[in-house]
Structure 1
């Protein structure tokens, strides 16, 4: 699994999208997926840019609705976070399911569940920072609904390893599976896993009819639990060199757009705050990926420290960044993100309520100007 970080390769990946094949095969492990999620979650490209690029090839929104819906899911989750704030990280709906643990099943943490697709997916997550979305749902279902562990720490474990780690998407998805952000829990059985992962297992602890799964006892294999060690290791960096006569442009791990205010003279700093990563830890692999993506931004200085430690941070003419719920504390002018549907802002308890409003603006996407970074 390869995730290049230069902007030219990223746009080549966008250009290669087949949205029709994606719509038909995305749920299969070997389906025609885009592998763009790490770049979207890090703000290098936006869902709107991707939608506009694909629509520019002559497709109508109706022809590629499934593809556009999948792009919109990420935006929906971000809007949920905007509206709920920190309440996102607790049960969004009341979940009265008896819980056996607040930890992570050891068999999941060690990729020893006996379910081939799950174990291979977890090993790939550790090795590459990527896991197919269907496997994420299978994993969350096994953790929350079969072992009956609380979703919070397991969701943090998965987020820690994901190159495309998006707090809103990851948290809402785990809650959706667990039934605390949906009207019912999500279950998968071995037959379903075999179908979408091209495996042929039988007689596993998931090889049951769907009517059995909600009432079955936790398999012995999932009863042992562990607390994964989630700590971020940040590199040591010098203080950035700041010209106090110029504005300060702050980039962060969710805002790495090389086209943002690119023509303006400014001090450009990628800010990796220890306080943020203490609250939301990520792996060293993720940090390395973020820093590599940041190399697309001309004149950028990487600084691992708090905003208040930046020289002249409070003396420069202005500080700019992009709006994001994780960085509301920054004393900066916060530009809006490049939303697919900027008109659709309020909280909707379901994606399809959001989509009903958003779909009225689909034709606006094809009119979007394409913004691409210069490729040398």
Structure 2
């Protein structure tokens, strides 16, 4: 799957979405997936913008409810990040059960898990930067609940390679599969994988009924663990040329909306902080994707350094990534700005959100 980086092409992708087909087929890897996640994760487009474009096409909530519900998962995860901060990188609701090893299975990095549907996609994952959401869940279930690894390091590895790597969506999805952000462990058996991927494999370590899967010993070939190498390559930048007397609009790799204060005079600066990438590195492919998206913002300059070193009070869109920024903080766009409180589960959040949407 290709991911264009011109705003007009992304809008075209939104306008081609068939929400009803999406609802019927989204779990199949060849189904009606929107392929919007890399743009949503970067804030290049926002969830309210997507919903508005659906409404402008005359598509109401009844037709698009499942699609909007899936978009709302992202909003729920971001809301959780706002509320919990860096504790999203710790077990949130329950300690992970049955941990026997840390790191990541060597077989995963070698695309040799033994599950053909996974291995085919893993072989190209570093080049594509994309995995269907069902495949991500299959992989998390296999690593955490079958092979008994702690979820954090595999989650960091996946985030590193994903074009749509969103720290909250990624970490909390892994925690949901591992049972630390849900009430049970997620398992997928071979029958399920065959159904949704079109594979016909049999006789694997996942070829059991669901009640039997938790009783199986971790397969030998998944017991060998390694620490994944996640090198970060800083972007090449030029010295900033700032104009005095006009505001400075600040962007991050999570808030790259080209419509932010569009048409207003101002310095426009994409801030990429070394301290952040030291903790949460991204692949060169993902950084190049981010820089390409930023080119849609007229006059933007890239600053690889700490925001505090700019010694200015910029104007920026609120996000957990910039909680420490000083300046004028504008509201983070979401579907229900007035919805207050913490929600222990997605569906407690969705029940209130959907009422507001109606």
Q: TM-score, length-normalised on structure 2? A: 0.98
Name which of structure 1's ranges 340-349 and 215-224 shifts more when overlaid on structure 2: 340-349
Instruction: Look up the match of 1:26.
Output: 26
Residue in structure 2 matched with residue 73 of structure 1 by the alignment: 73
Cα separation, 2, equivalents of 1:40 and 1:79 = 15
Q: Which residue of 1 aligns with 2:99?
A: 99
Task: Please name the residue that 1:319 is paired with.
Answer: 314
Q: Does the CA contact (< 8 Å) of 1:21 and 1:32 recur in 2?
A: yes
**2: CA distance between counterparts of 1:159 and 1:102?**
17
Give the whole-Å Cα distance in 2 for the aligned partners of 1:115 and 1:345. 43
TM-score, normalised with respect to structure 1: 0.93
User: 2-side partners of 1:86 and 1:196: how far apart?
Assistant: 34
Q: Distance in 1 between the 2:339 and 2:76 partners?
A: 9
1:241 Cα offset (Å)? 0.7
Q: Secondary structure at the match of 2:63?
A: coil
Task: Indicate whether 1:173 and 2:173 are aligned.
Answer: yes
Distance 2:39 2:266 in 1: 24
Does residue 344 in structure 1 map to residue 339 in structure 2? yes
Q: Note the alpha carbon deviations across 1:179-199, whole angstroms, 9 max, x for none.
A: 000000000010000000000
CA offset digits 1:261-311 (Å, max 9, x no partner): 11221110111111111111110000000000000001101121222343x
Deviation of the 1:201 alpha carbon: 0.1
Helix, strand or coil: the match of 1:79?
helix
Question: Which residue of 1 is the match for residue 44 of structure 2?
Answer: 44
Structure 2 segments unaligned to the other structure (5+ residues): none
Given the alignment, which residue of 342, 351, 355 partners 1:356? 351
1:285 and 2:285 matched:
yes
Number of corresponding residues = 358
Q: CA deviation at 1:59?
A: 2.4
Secondary structure of the residue that 1:339 maps to in structure 2? coil
Kindly report the root-mean-square deviation, in angstroms, between the aligned alpha carbons of the 2 structures.
Answer: 1.1
Q: Which residue in 2 is equivalent to 1:242?
A: 242
Structure 1 runs of 4+ aligned residues shifted over 6 Å read none
Give yes or no for contact 2:91–2:181 (8 Å, CA) kept in 1: yes
CA shift, 1:96, in A, is: 5.0
Relative distance call for 1:345 and 1:232 in structure 2 (3 A) is farther
CA displacement at 1:63 relative to structure 2: 2.2
Give the whole-Å Cα distance in 2 for the aligned partners of 1:230 and 1:327. 23
Q: 1:141 aligns to what?
A: 141
User: In structure 2, do the counterparts of structure 1 residues 32 and 96 end up closer, same or farther at CA, with 3 Å as the change threshold?
Assistant: closer
Judge conservation of contact 1:15–1:54 (CA < 8 Å) in 2. Answer: yes
Deviation at 1:224, TM superposition (A): 0.4
**Aligned match of 2:328 in 322, 333, 336?**
333
Whether the 8 Å contact between 1:124 and 1:131 is mirrored in structure 2 is no
Q: CA deviation at 1:235?
A: 1.9
Higher mean alpha-carbon deviation, 124-133 vs 191-200, is at 124-133
